[in-house]
Chains A and B, each alone.
Chain A
Amino acid sequence: QKEVEQDPGPLSVPEGAIVSLNCTYSNSAFQYFMWYRQYSRKGPELLMYTYSSGNKEDGRFTAQVDKSSKYISLFIRDSQPSDSATYLCAMSAGNNRLAFGKGNQVVVIP
């Protein structure tokens, strides 16, 4: 079993819809959870950074962490064509080692 599982998609949604992404993990030591957005041929951009369980909201983005279920989610409200990208989840135990999901390709159709 991989440390981090993420369905690669692709996921297509119409403009204005809510995008829902998630990752599951197996390592109970993970405490720091991140979501990155990566456009084609570019480096990942940090979107959300959370510690332990709970919700965090930043503009149209909401990150949720459920440590009991080893499940994290990212929601994008009012999706825009500019949100079309690959979204990577990442997590760590605070030891400088990030474990990444494979990435989920999202396409927002105008």
Chain B
Amino acid sequence: GAVVSQHPSWVICKSGTSVKIECRSLDFQATTMFWYRQFPKQSLMLMATSNEGSKATYEQGVEKDKFLINHASLTLSTLTVTSAHPEDSSFYICSARLRGGGLDEQYFGPGTRLTVT
């Protein structure tokens, strides 16, 4: 149980284009999902918290107009990187909080590796 999927697992795009990443909770409902970014040999950095049916809450320093988050249902959140640049290349990981689970009990997706050329 508590499986989270992400799609795509990797993507290469040209500078200036937009990329959408999907995060799904497969066997549970997730009222809250989280988006993280991880650079090589670094820990996870929280980008934003996404609640179903409401606007995402972004961390300080994260541009909300560049990283668009939509949490349209209890099992799906999407992250769109708009006008991507090479410095946006990173490993993007989502997590979902298990509804009815322990507080802050988060399950992570497998990640999406974005490379912007």
A residues near B, CB below 8 A? 8, 32, 34, 36, 41-46, 49, 51, 88, 92, 94-98, 100-103
Contacts and interface: CB of A to CB of B under 8 A. Distances in A.
Which of A32, A42, A45, A94 has most chain B Cβ within 10 Å? Answer: A42
Interface of B: 2, 4, 6, 32, 34, 41-44, 46, 49, 91, 93, 95, 97, 102-111, 113
B102 A51 contact: yes
B111 A41 contact: yes
Contacts of A51: 102-103
Contact of B44 (A41, A44, A49): A44
Contacts of A97: 46, 49, 104
A89 to B, nearest CB: 10
A49 B101 CA distance: 11
A80 to B, nearest CB: 22
A46 B43 contact: no
A36 B102 CA distance: 15
Contacts of A95: 104
Given A32-B103, A96-B32, A43 B46 contact: no
